[in-house]
Amino acid sequence: MVALNPIVYWAQNQKDIFLRVELRDVKDENVVLLEDSLRFEATGVGACGLDKYAFHFNFFESINPGKSKYRATDRQVEFSLRKENCGKWWKRLTEESLKLPWLKIDFDKWKSPEDFEEETRDILQDRPDILRQLQEDEGVIEPINYRQVYLFVYNMAQFIGFLYIFVVMMINYAKKGPDSMEETFSNVGEVFKFVQLMAFLEILHVIFGYTKGGLMACFIQVLGRFIVLFGCINSEPRMQTKPVVFYLFFIWSLVELIRYPYYMFRVYNIEVSFLTWLRYTIWIALYPLGFLCEGVVYLRTIPYAEETGVFTIALPNAWNFAFHFPTAIRTLLLCFFFPGMYTTMIHMQRQRKKKLGPSYLRQKGE
């Protein structure tokens, strides 16, 4: 009786080779592990149901059997094989460059041999050149990554939105000069509200692991802009004609016209050095100016909110609850605005050090 081939996933890091045999309820396994080869036979439930499965191949490089191990669980069989030459990157798993249909790359477990940052990054981010070579050697066609497609489309849509806002503002300013400032909100306010609402998705991206980054910094930035835009500007027509709205929209748009293209390229691991430098440098000038404009908006909103009572809930009412919007703005300024500004600036400084520090220069060969 000829044994079937189970599906085997493999990955590697600097020291080890990892194998994951897709075989459940394994019985009567027979494993022969040598320095240059591996033979596996067992009965279990695989892709073709309950049957006898087996495989055998020679390694691309030698391993250390004494420091290698395997275990069979109810769901699969796992191998951890120590490389004889630790630190050497294997071009492929098998000695011969044959395309084995049952052997696949375990992208989730693959680790890069280089660790430029504190957090080890996977090969999909660090070594796309090696990934492509492995796919060619083993006949693997990378499936469509719908998460990448979604993130690219999202960032592109946000970029187009802010580009429209910026272009309209600049055209109006070129035509009318400073007189165009009072028309800023009426010209681009609706589009700005839309892209700002879309920005709440970025919080979900971090929560669900679609993107890496600090949740607190992202939350502070998105929520802060939401309060300024909807709570202070959109709710008070007299605020909408102030020049500070023009300056604020200009700064926000300029920041995003750099940030979103950077993320678009990073989704597919494309490094544009100048864009990276801009992304982690221009904030040094723009963020303080943006915070200054936001602070002015808060202060100018307080007397208007006192006069109109917008968002204020007075007692008595059915809920027995009171809320005074001007007091909330003052509290926000004193207790959250400045700590939030400090948190955001520190976060960006750490990111700049990480992205443009010595590890970045080593990657670029500088």
Instruction: Tell me the catalytic residues.
Output: 287, 294
CB count in 10 Å sphere of residue 129? 9
Q: Where are the beta strands (DSSP E) in the chain?
A: 8-12, 16-21, 24-33, 37-46, 49-58, 63-72, 77-83, 103-105
Spatial distance between the Cα atoms of 235 and 138, rounded to a whole number of angstroms = 60
> If DSSP codes are grouped into helix, strand and coil, which group holds residue 102?
coil
Spatial distance between the Cα atoms of 13 and 270, rounded to a whole number of angstroms = 23
- Cα Dmax for the chain: 89
- Amino acid in the structure at residue 169: M
DSSP 5-56: PPPEEEEE-SSEEEEEE--EEEEEEEEEE-SSEEEEEEEEEETTEEEEEEEE
Spatial distance between the Cα atoms of 329 and 311, rounded to a whole number of angstroms = 11
The pair of structure tokens assigned to 295 is 């602070």
State the burial class of residue 186 (Cβ atoms within 10 Å of its Cβ: 0-12, 13-18, 19+).
Answer: exposed
The pair of structure tokens assigned to 333 is 């300024």
Nearest CA to 57 out of 89, 76, 81 is that of 81
339: region left, alpha or beta (phi > 0 left; psi from -120 to 50 alpha): alpha
Q: Dihedral sign for Cα 101, 107, 112, 113, please.
A: negative
